[in-house]
Amino acid sequence: MDTTNNKSTLTPRQEEIIDRTLELVREGGLGSLTTRKIAERVGFTEGALFRHYPSKQALLLGLMDRLEDMLVGPIRVIAGDDAVNAAERLERIIRHHTSVVREHDSLPILLLAEASASGDPVLVDRMRAIFHGYLSLLEGVSREGQARDEVTSEIRPDCLALLLLGAPAALAIRHRLLPDARAEDRFEETLIPFLRATIDTREGRNI
C-alpha cells in the first residue's frame, strides 16, 4: 500500500484551528468536541469557523491528517533508511511512537478508539488507512530484516508488526488511564531494549 498522502497545504488559520482542536481533544476526547467549543478556543464565531472548515467532519479529517503527519510521517522516513540495520529501524519506530504518546497524551490511540466508535464511515476509513499504513511499514521493515538475517525469523512479519505496534499502544492506554511517569520511563529504558534484543539476530547483544 502506498502510504504517501496527498493532503493539500493548510492555511495558517487552518493550522491554528487544528492546533486548538488537538488541545480540546486531549482535554476531553472526541465525544465532547463541538464546533462551538472549537470556535471559542480559537476566538471565532461558529460561522467564521465554517469558512475555514465547511463541516465538523472536514475538521476532524484535518485532525486525522495531523495525526498521520506526527505519527506516520517520521516512521515512513525511518523505515525507508535501508542503510540502517532493520532491527535498529524497528527500535527507532517504537521510540518515535512512544514519544508521540507521551508528548500528546495518547492522542493516536484516543483518536482511533473514538473514531471507531463514532459510527462515521468516513472517519473510520481514514483511521483505518493511517493504521494500515503504519502496520505495512512495520511489516515491510520486519520482512526486509528477516531477508537480511537482521531480524529473527521465528515470528511472521505481520505478527511481529502487531507486537511492535501493540507495545506503545498499551503504553498509550496506561498513560491515559494510569499516568505514571516513572513507569513510562521504565518502558523506554527496559522494555524497548528488551524487544530490540529479542528480535535482533546479531550475537552478543545485551538487554
Question: Do 50 and 132 belong together in one domain?
Answer: no
Judge if 97 and 22 occupy the same domain: no
Is residue 207 a part of any domain in this protein? no
CATH number, domain containing residue 85: 1.10.357.10
Structural domain range at position 172: 60-199
Encode pLDDT of 8-58 as tens digits: 688 999 999 999 998 888 888 777 889 999 999 999 899 999 999 999 889
pLDDT digits (tens, 9 = 90+) for 105-152: 888 888 888 778 878 899 899 999 999 999 999 999 999 999 999 999
Identify whether residues 108 and 91 lie together within a single domain.
Answer: yes
Residue in the structure block whose three cell numbers are 468516513: 122
Residue where the block lists cell 502506498: 2
Structural domain tally of the chain? 2
Among 106, 77, 110, residue whose Cα is nearest residue 92 = 77
Q: Is 35 within the bounds of a domain?
A: yes
Question: What is the reported pTM?
Answer: 0.87
Specify burial of residue 188 (Cβ count, 10 A radius: 0-12, 13-18, 19+).
middle
Q: Is the pLDDT of residue 202 over 70?
A: yes
Q: Is 206 contained in some domain?
A: no
More confident residue, 108 or 159: 159
The three three-digit cell numbers of residue 31, written as one number: 465525544
In a domain, 4, yes or no: no
pLDDT in tens, 58-89: 998 998 999 999 999 999 999 999 999 999 99
d(CA 33, CA 29): 7
Please report which confidence band the pLDDT of residue 4 belongs to, taking 50, 70 and 90 as the band edges.
very low
Q: How many CA atoms lie within 13 A of 49 on its CB side?
A: 24
CATH number of the domain at 46, please.
Answer: 1.10.10.60
Residues 78 and 33 grouped into a single domain: no
The answer to the question of residue 2 being in a domain is: no
